[in-house]
Amino acid sequence: MIEVRIHGRGGQGAVIAGKLLACALFKEGQWVQSFPAFGVERRGAPVAAFTRFDRDNIFIRNNIYEPDHVVVLDPTLIGVADVTAGLRPGGWVVINSSAPPESFDKLAGFRVATVDATAIALDNRLGSRSAPIVNTAILGAFARATGLVDLESVLAAIADEVPVKPDENVAAARAAFTSTRLPD
């Protein structure tokens, strides 16, 4: 079983990112679960979403405490929350950032990939300048970094599940896939 924890802020699309990842993996024949963890939060407050998948039925029904991989929609969360808590050795940390992966020296021991999902979202008119929606772009980066899900499955999940600006969201995921920076 592979488990992914997504960190974001309310309004960035972390919960939808988890759902779309699950939909993409389901298209590939995986058993999936996707669920959020937040209280009565407000826009901008930290939130987490979880996705787990396996080739076999999943019977576990709890939060993900030891993820295989972590996705970070807002890099400022790295200083606010322990986004790598429980992250398994060698796991990927996919970060929305214009900085190169090697600039995240606090994440030594993990594989770091970065993509400027904010710029990609703005280029595709997803959200506003003050609140870009980066979820579909970060999924393109996750597909590229981990290789756990095909980009075409991500694009199909977006086309099927995103009712607003589906073409722009598909373009964002595709652009992020090609511009993701991996460690040297």
Which residues, in sequence order, are CB contacts of 159 under 8 Å at separation 6+?
Answer: 166, 170
Q: What is the mean pLDDT of residues 10-21?
A: 92
pLDDT tens digits along 54-100: 999 999 888 899 999 999 999 999 988 889 999 999 899 999 999 99
At residue 42, does pLDDT exceed 80? no
Q: What is the mean pLDDT of residues 90-117?
A: 94
DSSP string, the chain: -EEEEEEEETTS-HHHHHHHHHHHHHHTT-EEEEEEE-SS--TTSEEEEEEEEESS-----S--SS-SEEEES-TTHHHHS-TTTTPPTT-EEEEE-SS-GGG-GGGTTSEEEEE-HHHHHHHTT-B-SSSB--HHHHHHHHHHHH-SS-HHHHHHHHHHH--SSHHHHHHHHHHHHHH-B---
pLDDT score recorded for residue 40 = 56
pLDDT score recorded for residue 79 = 81
Domains of the chain by start residue, with CATH = 2-179 (3.40.920.10)
pLDDT tens digits along 133-182: 999 999 999 999 999 999 999 999 999 999 999 999 999 999 999 999 99
- CA–CA separation, 163 vs 75, rounded Å? 27
Model-level pTM?
A: 0.94
